[in-house]
Amino acid sequence: MNALERIKKRLSPVKLYDLGKGTLQYAEISAFAAGLEILDEALDELTRECFGETAESFGIEYMERLWGKVRDDLPLTQRREMLRARNSLRSDDFTLLGIGKIFALLGVEGKITEYPSLHRVVIDITDREYTEGEKNFIRAQSEALLPAHLEKDLVFLGVTWKSFEEKAYDFLTFENQGYTWQYIDNL
């Protein structure tokens, strides 16, 4: 029911106003209703953006800023999933599965290897290439989220098979560089 219909419904029982089309009162409540429609739309949007499950624009951005960085490079469903995971972290989430969950909420996929005797985990991040800014963000977030006593090695391999195949390198590409085995061994 739109604002005009709601106003008419509430004023009809009073019987003080002639609410027929073309009357001065009808024109007046139509003007009020037009203003109320704008407010209704704004309130509907605000209500939608207040909750992670329904937020689509500024609401999801505010929630992401609360946790560090706006991830508008990801689809909306993945952004919501990351926020859901971030908001559900518990103190017993620091198993290998929990650490995987933490990196998933950052939008990062990788292989986690645990070295319990060294109190160390190595996270090989191989899902895609990252810029230096993204790497710094992931490092800072891992420091903030993972236990302080745990040594963390984040390994950004920097090259995915997809990106390597897109370059269309072949044997001659490397051969023409003039590299010797000694040079390659010293890399």
- Map out the domains of the chain as residue ranges: 3-49, 95-187
**92 contact partners, CB below 8 Å, separation of at least 6:** 98
Percent of the chain with pLDDT over 90: 5
How far is CA 174 from each of CA 160, 161, 181, rounded to the nearest angstrom? 18, 17, 12
pLDDT confidence bin for 159, thresholds 50/70/90: low
- Structure token digits, residue 162: 């997809």
What's the angle, vertex CA 103, arms to CA 58 and CA 166, rounded to 5? 90
- Strand 120-125 and strand 110-115: the pairing is antiparallel
pLDDT score recorded for residue 131:
83
For the record, the structure tokens of 18 come out as 């002639």
- Write out pLDDT tens, residues 56-99: 888 888 888 887 778 888 888 888 887 877 777 676 667 778 78
Q: What is the pLDDT of residue 37?
A: 92
Distance between CA 31 and CA 108 in Å, rounded? 52
Instruction: Report the candidate in 83, 57, 55, 56 with the shortest Cα–Cα distance to residue 69.
Output: 83
8 Å CB contact between 129 and 116: no
